Every structure is written in C-alpha cells, then in structure tokens.
Structure 1
Amino acid sequence: MTSSSPAPLSAAHPSHNAQPPGAPGLSTPVLLLMAVACGLCAGSNYFNQPLLHSISTQLQVRDASAALIVTLAQVAYAAGLLLLVPLGDLLERRRLITTLMLLAALGLFTSGFAHNYAMLALGTLLTGLFSVAAQVLVPLAATLAAPGRSGRAVGLVMSGLLTGILAARSVAGLLSEVGGWTLVYRVAGVAMVAVALALWWVMPVSRNAASAQTQSYGQVLRSLGALALRHPRLRSRALLGALSFASVSVLFSTMALLLAGPAHRLGDAGIGLVGLAGVAGALMANVAGRMADRGQAQVATAASVSLLLLGWGALWLGASSLAWFVVGLLVADLALQGVHISNQNVIYRLDPTARARLNAVYMTSYFVGAATGSAMGSAAWLWGGWGATCALGLGLAVLNALALAHDQRLARRARSGAAAPQALQGAGM
C-alpha cells in the first residue's frame, strides 16, 4: 500500500542498509570516484550517438542500421537492470561492481576493434548489459554514507551519472575527430578498467547479509512483479518515464543523421559540441529535486511534460536552422531530466524498504521505453526523414501528457484515501 506520509529519501532500511556501529562513512574522494564510475558507465551507452554517420560510412551499412546500435545499447541496459542489478542484494557489492565494470570494458574494446557491424553490435550489447554497475553504485552510496549524509552522497553520485550521460556525446565527437570513431571506444575501455581497479582498491567490502540469507535470486526477481502490482503509482510513473525517454530517444537516435546531412553538414566534433546543449539538463534535475522536496513533484512533472511538447516544435524548425535545433535539444533534455527526477522522488517514497527493487522496476521500464523510441525513430527516419521523426516524437510526447493525467488522478485518489482515516480519527477524539 502507498504510504500516506512519505519517508525522506535518505532513510535506510534498518536491518539491511544501516551502517555498522562506528562506520566512518565514505570520504569525499571515494564518493567522487564513485561519481566518475557512474558517469563512465552511463556515458558508455551514449558514445555512439554522434558517431552514427561515421559508423555507417566506415562499416558500409545504411544509416538506419547504424542507428539501431543506439537501440541495442538500450535493450541490453534494460536487460541488465532487470537481471543484474538485483544481485546487489545477494552478492558482495564491491566485487560485483568491479566485475560488471571489467565486463563492460570488454564490450568497449570489442567495439573499438570492430571491423564489421556484427562485432560492433556484440560489443554494444556487452557494454550495455554490464554498465548497469552504475545502478548498483547509486544505492550503495546511500548505504555506506556517514549517518545523516546519505542524501548528499546520492546527490553527488547521481550528478556524476547525469554528467556522464550529457558529456558522452561531446567527448565522443571530439575524440572521433582526432582518431576516428574506434578511438572513442578504446579510450573508454582503458578508462573503465582503470576506474574499476581504483574502486576495488578504495571501496569497503559491503554485503547485504540479511537479504542473502532469506531470499534467493529467483525470489528477488519475483518480488519485482509483486511491487509493480502493489503500487499503482509505480506503474504510472514507470509509464511516464518510458514515454518521455521514448520521445527523446527518437531524437537521440537520429540527430547525428540530420546534423551530418546536407542541411547542416557537421562532422563528428560539431555534432558532439551541439550535444553540449544537454548539459542544462543537470540544472533541471536540481530544480525538479528542490520542487519535489517542497511537495511539488506533480507541478515539476507537468512543467516538464509541457516542455517536451514545445521542444518538438523547435526541433521541427531545426530541419533548416541549427539555432532552432539547439533550442529544441536543450528543451527536450530539460524536460527528460525534470520528468525523471520527479518520477524517482515519487517512487522512492512508496516503500523505503524496497528502494533498490522499485528502482529496478522503474529503470527497466525507462530503458525499454528508450529502446522502443530509438527503434521507432530509426524506422521513421528511413520512412519519411526528419518530418516523420518529429511527428513520431511529438506523438509520443502527447501520449506522455495523457499518462501524466492518469498519474494525477492516482495522486488525488491517494491523498483523499489518506485524508479519510485522519478525518475519522479526528472525529473520534
């Protein structure tokens, strides 16, 4: 049942997540390293976006086939969220995180030395599947933080994750300009190995012994479905996340094809620099978080959904105007982060003792939406170019607005349901 008085996000389940007596917590340098690891893991799935034209040219495949690499990365990441992230409740976490990161590095090297499309696809799948180490690191930061500082720890690590996603396109474009698109994956692979080994060196051993003794892997996976059935707003917010990311993924999977085409004629570096407009998404994340803390998560979500609708109008004008394209990209990124941060704030309050599993359900839906949007975007580009792409993205944004209306009805119902017992209690006093 949904709690009528949400617990703060920094609360921890006492038997599972509490620090041992005398635990000093994580130092700032260790938290910064964890933030870098999150950014590298998350960003590894976005390196391909400004490189699609170069990939299609060098590997001699169609633009639409190259764009499917974006979809493969997101499908693999969604599978990792569902199948690997719950292992954080069963296995020793330091070993799990470093193992996942080393396997993700193997995927990056496979892509970096690919001479054909099949090899690139395999590397993309491996990287996407195992880069979910970031989603094990984020709740671990709260678990290992010093008492009263878990909110700061999670905020710092999440900032690293968001910055990694936003900077990945720009870094990839610049590196590709220097040494070709394969250099991007090779450098990222080396960085992934280095950060994984550094984490192994500095992070404390962490095992969720209580869960490991009472639940099997199969039970943990089955509990994800039970949580989804128990919490209507988990389902509504997962739908909101999926539709918003699907809409923006239509853009992400095709923007390089538009910008490299005859209307704009940008190289990989130029496409990467255009992607820097998304850095403003970090600002929206902070604004949405503060609004949620003040009980205005619904307002933040509504504003973000509206921005996404407006963003597609600007992107349509961006077919012939680079300035309008940048404006549209900026607004779409702002909208996506606003919806995402608001969603997380809502779902984490549904059951403070099951946040990792709630996150697994939500994030799986989130990236399934992303993969679907990428695949649909590639098909729309192939069928009708940028006009069809914008029509698809706008259509998904409209569906997102309808999903918000459904979530608002659920929120009102939850508030009225919580108010009724309080009224009866007051009448009996």
Structure 2
Amino acid sequence: MTIGAGLIVANNYYNQPLLGKIAREFNVSEATANNIAMLTQIGYAMGLLLLIPLGDMFRRKKIIIADFIVIILSLLAFAVSTNIYITFVSSFVIGFSSVVPQMFVPIAAQLSRPDEKGKNVGLVMSGLLVGILVSRVFSGLIGEYWGWREVYYIAIGIVTIFGIAIVIVLPDIKPTFHGTYLKLMQSLLHYIKTVPSLRLASVRGALGFGSFMAFWTTLTFHLERPPFFAGSDIAGMLGLVGVGGAVAASAVGRMTDRMNKNILIVAAIIMMIVSWIIFGMWGFSYAGLIVGIILLDVGLQSMHITNQTIVFSTNPEATNRLNTVYMVSYFIGGSLGTFISGKAWNSFGWYGSVGVGTSFVLIALIAHWLFAGKVKQH
C-alpha cells in the first residue's frame, strides 16, 4: 500500500513542472495553463467525496480495481489531447480517479493495533509523499528531454503494472456500513456536525495544503524567469529537496502515538510560516528555495499526519467517511491555493505567490489557537 500510494498519487502532480511547456504548445497564458493543476485538485476532491465513502459500503478491492481502468483512460486522454480544453477535462478525471491512496490510508489504520496506528498511517503517507516528490522529478526530466506527452504514456504503463499487483496482493476488507448510498452520504454530515476535532483538522489541512500548492504551482513560472532561466527539469529536481517531508511523515507518525498533538501541530505551522519568510527574502536564489522547500514540506506533512491520526481515532467504524471529510477539505484548500496564487502571480509575480502562501498558514495558526483548546485532540 505504501508503494501504491506513491505510484498513484503521482498522477496528480506530473503536470506541475510541465505547465510552462503545455502553455507554449497550446499558445495559452500561464494563468490558463495553471487551471490544469487546479482542475486536477478539484477532481481529486470530488473523487474523495463521491468515491471514498464507498469503501465503507462495498468491498474496497473491487472499487479499487474498477477505478484503475478509469485512471488509465484519463491518462491516455491527457497524453493525446489536441487542445487545452481536452487537457482540462482529462485533468479533472485524472484527479477524480486517482483517489486510491486515500483508501489505502484507512485500510492501514483499520488493520493496525491501536499503539501502531500512527506509525502505519505515517508509513503509507510517507510513500504517498515520496510519490509526489518523485513525480515532479520524473515528469520534469522526461518532459524536458522527451516531451510532456511521453510522461503520461509512461504513467499508463506504471498504473497498468501496479493494477495487476493490486489484484494479486491487496487484502479484501468487508464493508462496515449497511444501507443506501444516500444514507452513506448523509452520514458524512452527521460526522461533520458531531466531531469537532474532525472540523478543526479539516480546516487546518485545507489551509496548509493551499499554502503548499501556492508554492509548487507557481515555482515553474518563477524558475523560467531571471535569475534562473531554468526548464522543467530543474523544477522537477527541486522536488527531491522535499524528501525531508517523507522522512518526517514516518517519524511524526510514530511521535503522534505518544506526544501532545497540539504541540506538534503548532510546531508544524510555525515551520511553514518560516518557510514563506525565507521564500520572500531569499526566493531568488537556489539556496533560499532549497531551505524553504525543506521547511514547507516537513511542516505540511507533520501537520497532515497529526491531523489524520486525530481523525482516525474518533470513530474506527467509519474511517473511510472520516477520511473523506478531511481529504475533501484538504484538496479544496489545495485547489483554492492553486487558483489564488495563479491570479496573484499574474498580478504581482513571485511576491504575490509568497503573500498567498503566507496568508493561508497564518489563518491556519489563528484558527488552531482559537479552537484547539475547545476541541479534544484524541
């Protein structure tokens, strides 16, 4: 599941280092091309909302296998697209279908002993983050030397091979919800209303990921300008710097089982704020970008793992639905960060992106300070 989380989530992030190339090929503005990344995030949020709850209602293995077929078809549509509008639609479907890793995370929590839940969730999440990082490196290099379409042809092969492995290896877990799809979706509202820690974690996650996406979706445009004059390969390679976040995901997962979660969350948010200060002051040097990326990735993943450990500890019989609420909020935040930073980039350049990213995490810190004392952090 750790390997699969990385391989599938990568589909959502291949486009980021390639946005400049796609914009030039279809003769559209950078802001227009940026909608590819935004629509992928929106699609992912919709997939989380409509597909992930089914994991509590049906056998997850069957859902996952069917989903793989849709992933392959959407990747193919993107690879052969002849205009920007086809890339928009296929980007949405890629995001919508690539939600399988968010079925793996609740499975890991459900199969774990209570004292190992945080560690195992962190392990799967570290695989997911490695997939995000490697996807940018992979697509940046392949896009620079072979072309952006070839990235997606190779992705089709990867997904097909892993789909076969899923059929053979993945354990099949019996459903825990018995009722109609309408009642299943209504139960999401029930958990939103009755679990305050879920609401607060969702707000923190949304703002944190929005800040993260504000950086990564405008980085390619930033690097194409002076003083860098760099291509998609460099944008992708900078993704490797975030490997610290993957290490943090595994380490923080173990820490959440025995440490005060409020302290971990505050430390993570402050780390992200510091990263944006560095981007603002030294963002026109590789050294500044590298240090900032490390802090941004470690901060986000630390907050994310802590949030998920809190969420999964509330109602074990509804892990998929709890994860749905949290992750839908998370990716709505990501799509907002992408959209707003794209607009800010068009108007104010790099400092516009820095302003958006900083604002998101400052609001997250304020929200946590205002409400954390009133909410039990399991």
Amino acid aligned to 2:62: R
C-alpha separation between the residues in 2 aligned to 1:373 and 1:320?
Answer: 21
207, 216, 221: which is aligned to 1:252? Answer: 216
Q: 1:291 to 1:37 in 2, by over 3 A?
A: closer
Deviation of 1:77 after TM superposition, in Å, equals 0.3
- What is the aligned residue count? 378
Q: Structure 1's 352 and 142: CA in aligned 2 closer, same or farther, altered over 3 A?
A: closer
Task: Please give the secondary structure, in 2, of the residue aligned with 1:293.
Answer: coil
- Give the Cα separation in 2 of the matches to 1:153 and 1:231: 23
Residue 235 in 1 paired to residue 235 in 2? no
> Sequence identity of aligned pairs in percent?
34
Equivalent residue, structure 1, for 2:183: 219
**Is the 1:288–1:338 Cα contact (8 Å) retained in structure 2?**
yes
Paired residues of 2:139 and 2:236 also in contact (CA < 8 A): yes
* C-alpha contact (below 8 Å) 1:297/1:345 kept by paired residues: no
- Is residue 282 of structure 1 aligned with residue 246 of structure 2? yes
Q: How does 1:99-178 map to 2 (within 5 A)?
A: 99-143=66-110, 154-178=121-145
Q: 1:344 aligns with which of 290, 301, 308?
A: 308
Aligned to 2:154: 187
How do residues 75-86 of structure 1 correspond to structure 2 at under 5 angstroms? 75-86=42-53
Aligned twin of 2:65: 98
Mapped contact 2:118–2:257 kept (Cα < 8 A): no
Q: Distance in 1 between matches of 2:364 and 2:173?
A: 39
**Aligned-partner Cα distance in 1 for 2:7–2:41:** 15
Secondary structure of 2:12's aligned partner: coil
Partner AA of 2:29 in structure 1: R
Q: SS of 1:74's equivalent?
A: helix
Q: 1:264 maps to what in 2? A: 228
Aligned to 1:423: none
Checking the alignment, whether the CA contact within 8 Å between 1:37 and 1:196 is kept in structure 2 is no
Distance in 1, matches of 2:331 and 2:168, equals 31
Please give the alpha-carbon distance, in whole angstroms, between the structure 1 residues aligned to 2:171 and 2:208. Answer: 37
Answer with 1 or 2: which has the greater Rg. 1
How far apart are the structure 1 equivalents of 2:269 and 2:171?
Answer: 41
Query: In structure 1, what is the equivalent of residue 323 of structure 2?
Result: 359
For the 8 Å contact 1:82–1:361, the answer to whether it is kept is: yes
Q: Which letter maps to 2:327?
A: M
Q: CA deviation at 1:303?
A: 0.6
The answer to whether the 8 A contact 2:109-2:312 is kept is no
SS at match of 2:279: helix
Query: Which residue among 207, 229, 233 is the counterpart of 2:174?
Result: 207
* Cα distance in structure 2, aligned partners of 1:150 and 1:355: 12
1:248 to partner: Cα distance: 1.3
Give ranges in structure 1 of 5+ residues lacking alignment.
1-33, 419-429
Structure 2: gaps spanning 5 or more residues: none
| Counterparts in 2 of 1:84 and 1:282: CA distance versus 1, 3 Å | same
Moved more, 250-259 or 286-295: 286-295
**Residue in structure 2 matched with residue 317 of structure 1 by the alignment:** 281
Could you tell me which amino acid in structure 1 is paired with residue 43 of structure 2?
A
**Contact conserved, 2:119 with 2:250, CA < 8 A, in 1?**
no
- What is the CA-CA distance between 1:93 and the residue it aligns to? 1.8
Change (3 A) 1:47 1:318: farther
Matching residue of 2:237: 273
Q: 1:288 to 1:152 in 2, by over 3 A?
A: closer
The 1:178–1:353 alpha-carbon spacing in structure 2 relative to 1, beyond 3 Å, is: same
TM-align CA RMSD:
2.1
Label 1:351 to 1:202 Cα distance change in 2 as closer, same or farther (>3 A): closer
